[in-house]
Structure 1
């Protein structure tokens, strides 16, 4: 959420940011509502003060046996006016909130201008796509022929966009998750967390999925929501806290299932495992000092990329353009992995610096301390999140990049210890 005081002082910057994102400018409406709100609030406070003063004067007049009819009449008029103002103030509060809650974050200056994914910019490429002496197959063809990937049975149980993995492919999925967790904990110092998979409205509001993107989520009959990503649980671990500056940064990692309705992707990627209602992901979250979030962002991208380097899978890093950057983010890097079966790069990780956007919604703050140990007023932390990485898509990438002509799949060297020594996946 954006600071209303900042909007009041920088309306042109707000509208410029909205235009970059392809949205309509709205600062005049916000400024007008804010002015009405403050005027109404001031009048209400003045009347409340007058009421209190009159009550005191009436009491003193009665004690002294004086006539207080004029004051009583004035107090009655004020008593009638106060609930009217309170109602007006509530309406203005609601109108302002409806706008502020869905305003996107302010983009960093280096985010390229653009309207969609075609305007994103490649900033780094790693590895050379392998040349095959046969026509490489898609992951779903490989898995089905191995007898270890079953979409038909999953559809009978749960409908479309689900899969059943069996045998060595189920083990491969688990191996990838465990490998990533060990890497991020042991090399990059993230703290492993096992968080809730069910969250309440306020948690999703805190990270920005609500109120705008509720249709992309699954809601239970108990008014809980299934997490679309562990970012929601991990980031909300610091909600409504004032932390000591000395404990920053805090870095969390979790391997969880994720659940998405894919309402906005109807008809897109219906084949295979690329876009499913249920999938596993290793998620990274950092809570940082505002001065350090830019460096922390680069560090997070490096941690996610290291997974693919160790798996020896070609990939590239792109910076999302203004029109493709999520509303919570100031700047987002995507990592895209090469899939020879499709002959293209696919997103496998997205790492975002959200600045204080989520922290304001969660009231997550820290107390700065100077070199002499003097503490000052609390400030909002910066939050960052990133896939470290999507396990299902990593499995897809391994199958397509390590497939052999005979239909078997080699296991990347770094995963063999996690596969109980298995070096090759063969058909049942």
Structure 2
């Protein structure tokens, strides 16, 4: 959530950023925020003045009674009662203004970093780099949704039977390669200095609000009505919320956490080749890296996280590219996002496998995540990234490494899998 003083002091900068996002009605919404903010401050000043007068009058009553001036004492009591009634009305008015102000503030997305390109959609994202050689497959090569049936390693029909569409059953070597990928990703994060945590996979409303999934993505999350809990769409939510309402000692910075969780998203509702098989699921596995950084270090940390994810893709021998997302394609809470996409040789298209983002103070303001730096309390910068999400990684491994004799397992995964080929 944007900070009120920043909006108040940098209105044009805020509007420029919102226009880069193509955020509708930016001027009207920012003007509404500033109007409510002025009303809040005016009401607070008036309330403070009334309370000061009330306290002063109350202090006079005892002295008047002691002096035997009952008439004046009674008049002071009457004035005090009127001031208390006035303060009650002002207090209620102030609370309502704050509620109205908060309701508008949570609808405003983060301001993009200056390096974010202009654009409205994914077509306008900037290609930062491309790495690796796209494989040439043999005649008769198949997409992964055919390969998994051929080698009997993932069963979508069983998943439909048990749960519904978008909940696959991994079995045999399919289950083992899933476990191998998770352990490989976790081990690589530990080598890079991340602390592993295993968080809950359900969160409360405060946690969803803290990282910005609520109210922005409420319709995309599975909700447990009776308990008022949400299944997590990403481990970003519970891991970042470990630090909600926390003042982090400077000596503990930076904080680097990694966690594996299953993830749940209701958005997988469309049909077509672009979402067939593992391309989009309701439930999937993901390893997430999360960092809490001093503001001056966060963009260096973002580049480090990008390099970490790229290193995973290189070790998996997957051709990939890095995109800098344009203003119109960025997530609601992000200031700058890099997407990593791998080349799917059988589908002949790029598949997104990771987003690495810097949220600057946007999440920290919601979370009240601070540290005392140089004697001053400051909001921290939060960052996270997929390192990595499994479904499309597995799809690309299966497709890019298929041969007439079977599917080759990338060398780095063989010790984790215990086999070097699916046949």
TM-score by length of 1: 0.94
Which residue is 1:348 aligned to?
A: 353
Residues 174-222 of structure 1 deviation map (CA, whole Å, 9 limit, x = unaligned): 1011111111111x11111111112111111111111221111112121
Bigger drift between 308-317 and 247-256 goes to 247-256
TM-fit CA distance, 1:267: 4.2
Residue segments in structure 2 that go unaligned for 5+ positions in a row: none
Identify which of 164, 168, 172 aligns with 1:167.
172
Counterpart-to-counterpart distance in 2, 1:338 and 1:292: 32
Secondary structure of residue in 1 paired with 2:309:
helix
Unmatched tracts of structure 1, length 5 or more: 370-375
Pair 1:29-2:26 in alignment? no
- 1:197 equivalenced with 2:196 (yes/no): no
Task: Report the more deviating stretch, 229-238 or 300-309.
Answer: 229-238
Matching of residues 113-132 of structure 1 within 5 Å: 113-132=118-137
**1:206 maps onto 2:213 in alignment:** no
The 10-residue stretch of structure 1 (299-308 or 76-85) with the greater mean CA deviation from structure 2 = 76-85
The corresponding residue for 2:409 is: 411
Partner of 1:55: 58
Q: Is the 8 A contact 2:137 2:345 kept in 1?
A: no
Q: Distance in 2 between matches of 1:349 and 1:270?
A: 17
Aligned: 1:70 with 2:70: no
The answer as to 2:311 corresponding to 1:306 is yes
Q: CA deviation at 1:117?
A: 0.5
Aligned: 1:89 with 2:94: yes
Please list the CA deviations of residues 292-329 of structure 1 after superposition, one character each: whole Å capped at 9, or x if unmatched: 11110000011111111001110100000001111211
CA–CA distance in 1 between the matches of 2:372 and 2:140?
59
Query: Match for residue 181 of structure 1?
Result: 186
Given that residues 176 and 394 in structure 1 are in contact (C-alpha distance below 8 angstroms), is that contact kept between their aligned partners in structure 2? no
CA distance in 1, matches of 2:259, 2:82: 60
Residues 384-403 of structure 1, C-alpha deviations (whole Å, 9 max, x = no match):
10000101221111111111
The CA distance in 2 between the partners of 1:366 and 1:327, in whole Å, is: 25
Q: Assess if the C-alpha contact under 8 Å between 1:136 and 1:340 holds in 2.
A: no
User: What is the DSSP-based 3-state SS (H/G/I as helix, E as strand, rest coil) of the residue aligned with 2:41?
Assistant: helix
Residue 5 of structure 1 is matched in structure 2 by: 5
CA–CA separation in structure 2 for the residues paired with 1:69 and 1:179: 79
Tell me which residue corresponds to 2:231.
226
Which one is further off, 88-97 or 69-78? 69-78
Within a 5 Å distance, the mapping from 1:296-335 to structure 2 comes to 296-335=301-340
1:377-416 aligned within 5 A:
377-406=376-405, 408-416=406-414
Q: Give the drift of 1:270.
A: 4.5
2:252 to 233, 236, 247: 247
Aligned twin of 1:424 = 421
The separation in 2 between residues aligned to 1:353 and 1:166, in whole angstroms, is: 37
CA distance in 1, matches of 2:194, 2:371: 20
Local SS of the residue matching 1:242: coil
After superposition, give the CA deviation of every residue in 1:138-188 in whole Å (9 maximum; x if it has no partner).
1111101212221111111111111111100110111011111111111x1
**Paired residues of 2:197 and 2:258 also in contact (CA < 8 A):** yes
Match of 2:112 in 1: 107
Structure 1 residue ranges, 4+ long, deviating more than 3 angstroms after superposition: 265-270
Q: Whole-Å Cα distance in 1 between the matches of residues 16 and 221 of structure 2?
A: 30
The two structures, once aligned, show a CA RMSD in angstroms of 1.4
